[in-house]
Structure 1
């Protein structure tokens, strides 16, 4: 059972959230809050597993509130305006729901939260497979299918995500470490301080370089062992 907190300054939105939560047997609503200050009080005294958090609220936004919480629960952002979701894309929330929220979309989000919750509480369970992710690019929240990613290049505070059959990379403000944590570790491997590659998209490996997506990606000594886990290490040493 996941203990939930609903935070929204609109009573009708809270009513809808409460109704949806009651329909799902593995969720229980602990408290409804109309602002971040009420929510902070609840978090201080109650164990909360999942928080439904409106972004645009008076006084302090949902993004600002989440940034202030030292050990936040799982969070699903809710917003009436798509542009506000861009503010929180980098906070590693479970999902974003755009008002008005259909029950089917709500159920999909909480199913993802349940998988993450189960993995947190039982690390022996396999981590949920993420088949897509959202990034902020050119003032839009862009959905990227993980299977389409060929490789990722890090550039200081930005990354370039190169996709299959797409000429231009998606450029977003995010660290390479953060996207590495989001990508499935059995399908992607970091081979250099500036590069993560898709294992299934590798064409060949020769002389410390990977041929992938029409380019040559270097393999650094520091990350060489990462790649060796997936291929014959003697072959890598020879090439």
Structure 2
């Protein structure tokens, strides 16, 4: 069951999302809330897989809520304003629905989410070798098995990623945000909107970049605090 949270300051909008979801067997609404502050508190205490989030709300906007979450569920923005699409792309928001939301557009978003959800389940099932953990990546028409220990870094390319390994690179059909949530956090860290790196492949770093063997990668401003905390924890450990 996909646990859904609806956040919108307009009750009719929340009810419409509920109506759209009512015909889907695999989706359940765990809460329907009227503001971002209540949603933030709810998310600290309850597991949620998918959030339908309005942007324009009193006090705290939907985008502010999304940015505040350290480890967030997938977010589908529901808004009457098209001008936030660029911000949503930067934040790797899962989908962007413009009000009034039609049943056809809603179902397209759900089909996209189920593709992601089913792929996530497959990875969990196949990554069972504790000595040599791996993942399958869709490369062209094939599913390619890649050992996690062989990955140096992963580069985001819009709707694709480029997985750089010790031997070669693969372009796979996946998004970087999904990889950030799926890869083990004790082995991989995101250092930039376009890069996730393997911690054991770091040879040096400074406040602006991280060196992986002979490859320098930029250290993004928004990712520095988390990166340095992880490095500090690793050093103490």
Distance 1:181 1:117 in 2: 19
Distance 1:27 1:56 in 2: 25
Matched, 1:182 2:178: no
Counterpart residue number, 1:68: 68
Distance 2:83 2:55 in 1: 10
Counterpart residue number, 1:57: 57
Counterpart residue number, 1:38: 38
Distance 1:128 1:102 in 2: 31
Larger radius of gyration: 1
Deviation at 1:179, TM superposition (A): 3.5
- Spell out, residue by residue over 1:51-70, the C-alpha distance to the aligned partner (whole angstroms, 9 max, x if none): 01111111111111100001
Counterpart residue number, 2:83: 83
Deviation at 1:14, TM superposition (A): 0.4
Between 1:42-51 and 1:3-12, the stretch displaced more is 42-51
Q: Secondary structure at the match of 1:122?
A: helix
Deviation at 1:76, TM superposition (A): 0.6
Going by fraction, where is helix more abundant, 1 or 2? 2
8 A Cα contact 2:4 2:27, kept in partner: yes
CA RMSD in angstroms, aligned pairs only: 2.7
Deviation at 1:90, TM superposition (A): 0.8
Q: Secondary structure at the match of 2:157?
A: helix
8 A Cα contact 1:115 1:128, kept in partner: no
Counterpart residue number, 2:11: 11
8 A Cα contact 2:2 2:49, kept in partner: yes
- Spell out, residue by residue over 1:177-224, the C-alpha distance to the aligned partner (whole angstroms, 9 max, x if none): 764373155557xxxxxxxxxxxxxxxxxxxxxxxxxxxxxxxx969x
Structure 2: state its 5+ residue gaps. 127-134, 140-153, 163-169, 173-213, 217-237
* 1:35/1:179 CA distance change after superposition, 3 Å: same
Distance 1:108 1:91 in 2: 21
Distance 2:23 2:2 in 1: 13
Distance 2:49 2:111 in 1: 13
8 A Cα contact 1:2 1:26, kept in partner: yes
Distance 2:89 2:45 in 1: 28
Q: Secondary structure at the match of 2:101?
A: coil
Distance 1:78 1:25 in 2: 22
Counterpart residue number, 1:113: 113
State how many pairs are aligned: 145
